Amino acid sequence: MKPDGYCRVSRERTFVSVPIPTPAARITAFESLAFGMFVHWGLYSQLGKGEWAMNLHQIPKDEYRKLMATFTAQDFDAIELARTARRAGMKYLTHTTRHHDGFSLYDTRGLSDLDITHTPAGRDLILELVEACRAEGILPMLYCTTLDWSDPRFESDWAAYHRYLQASVELLCTQYGKIGGFWFDGNWSRPEADWHEDDLYRIIRRYQPEAIIINNSGIDAMGRGGHPEVDSVTFERGRPRPQDRQGAPKYVASEMCHTMNFHWGVATRDFNYLSPAHVIEELCFARRAGANLLMNIGPESQGKIPAFESAALARVGDWIEIHGGREGVLYHGRPSSVVGEGDDFALQIGDELYLFITGLTATGNTMAHDSASRGPGPRTFSQVFGRYREAIWLDSGESLAFEHALDDGLLMLNATQYPYGTNTVVRVARLR
């Protein structure tokens, strides 16, 4: 029996091709950055209880302000921070200028008395940061809160608060040279409010037309779109999924932000840190979806870079170096229509195909986030219609055998085992 509405006219289907918008040059450049450092640091760092300490521990405003008297920033070294990012293979750095507690790490030039000039530090740390980033070949980007727990205007005079917010952003746009992007955070606190985004983004486009604009949609809104001027959606601590851009009014990038433990600001009693292997996996899986990974660290009370984060990210940098370095496939590879089994996937650069092989260890990979160990042996990929004459491991140059049924688009790669003393977590084979 045929279901209601069934009409046997033709078994053929007509598919209408819907175009994908061409990305703006700034968005294409942003996608090629691939890997960035996120830095959360401020008054809350002296408490060592995370960046939400003021709110979640219900610290009164007047009591919290006393932290300004002991904020010396004596261990803050912008050059060291930029070099740590570069050593990790990161190409951009997004630093908090002001977080939800309302304290600014830059000279607000009279807009607020809750800023760095009213502390023993007495230095414009954002100016130091952007200059250090440029010296080290790192693109500086600035985090700006839109939520403020300390400013009474946030609760009592919405229009006046937004004049202050916009004046703050205009200051950052005009006093610190070319900025790579602005990363806003806090609109999720009042989802029904008018956040005056037109006015805010107009300021950025006037002074910093090539800056990337990001507005974090929040931890429960993975990849949700936003204002037309926003250049990238966010995935907060959640693996990105590929975007469906067909018929979209604008090509928008994507970025996953993640942190080394369960807090963004330093938390001295949080021992649940990610391993280098975990970060490598998150970076690879972000690139699988065409997204960047923005990996956070929380400097200590007066700005010192924590030893664990520095060492762990350096190991990630070592992994990147043996896979082509800062100009390799992690940065310039783009998602492919090729489909792998399980977590295996492929990236494409021109005519070259890069197969990312996961779970290759002979025993259970206890460091892997969610991939099961399958060990060495054949790995099958479908939708492979390019012609390839050789396959090699990037980490060793070893040639690999493969079989390719071109007409069917099926390719089977013989993924050999790691040599003793090696485990790169995710192994990459180049086909050309």
CA distance 212 to 30: 8
CA dihedral 293, 299, 305, 309 (to 10 degrees): -40
What are the Cα distances from residue 155, in Å, to 87, 149, 189, 198, 386?
43, 9, 12, 21, 59
- pTM, entire model: 0.93
CA distance 292 to 252: 12
Pair 410, 381: CB distance under 8 Å: yes
What are the Cα distances from residue 427, in Å, to 315, 356, 371, 376?
15, 6, 13, 11
Q: Do 144 and 238 share a structural domain?
A: yes
Q: 278: closest CA among 326, 313, 242, 235?
A: 313
The bridge status of strand 410-415 relative to strand 402-405 is: antiparallel
CA distance 147 to 169: 14
Q: Is residue 9 situated within a structural domain?
A: no
Q: Which domain range does residue 147 map to?
A: 25-331
Structure tokens at 43: 């008054």
Q: 140: closest CA among 73, 212, 203, 76?
A: 212
DSSP string, 79-126: HHHHHHHHHTT--EEEEEEE-TT--BSS--TTS-SSBGGGSSS-S-HH
CA distance 34 to 17: 29
pLDDT at 365: 43
CA distance 313 to 13: 50
Residue type, 59: I
Tokens 């054949």 appear where? 378
Q: Angle at which helices 276-288 and 307-321 pack, to 10 degrees? A: 50
If DSSP codes are grouped into helix, strand and coil, which group holds residue 155?
helix
pLDDT at 16: 55
Q: Is residue 7 situated within a structural domain?
A: no
Q: Is residue 5 situated within a structural domain?
A: no
User: 115: domain CATH number?
Assistant: 3.20.20.80
User: 351: domain CATH number?
Assistant: 2.60.40.1180
Q: Is residue 12 situated within a structural domain?
A: no
Q: Is residue 271 situated within a structural domain?
A: yes
Pair 355, 386: CB distance under 8 Å: no
Q: Do 204 and 86 share a structural domain?
A: yes
pLDDT at 143: 98
Q: Do 386 and 278 share a structural domain?
A: no
**Distance between start and end Cα atoms, the chain:** 52
CA distance 126 to 74: 15
pLDDT at 282: 98
Q: Name 334's bridge partners.
A: 348
**Domain boundary residue, one of 291, 316, 331:** 331
| Number of folded domains that form the chain | 2
CA distance 22 to 349: 18
**Domain boundary residue, one of 331, 347, 363:** 331
Residue type, 327: E
Mean pLDDT for back-to-back runs of 10 residues, the chain (432 residues): 36 60 97 98 98 98 98 98 98 98 98 98 98 98 98 98 98 98 97 97 98 90 87 94 92 97 97 97 98 98 98 98 94 96 96 96 51 84 97 97 97 96 96 97
Q: 144: closest CA among 51, 215, 230?
A: 215
CA distance 48 to 234: 27
Q: Do 397 and 322 share a structural domain?
A: no
Q: Is residue 173 situated within a structural domain?
A: yes
Pair 202, 211: CB distance under 8 Å: no
Overall size of the chain counted in residues: 432
Structure tokens at 206: 């006037």
Q: Is residue 187 situated within a structural domain?
A: yes
Q: Angle at which helices 307-321 and 78-87 pack, to 10 degrees? A: 40
In degrees, to the nearest 5, what angle opens at C-alpha 283 toward C-alphas 181 and 391?
125
Tokens 């917010």 appear where? 165
Q: 296: closest CA among 20, 136, 85, 65?
A: 85
CA distance 381 to 23: 29
Q: Do 193 and 53 share a structural domain?
A: yes
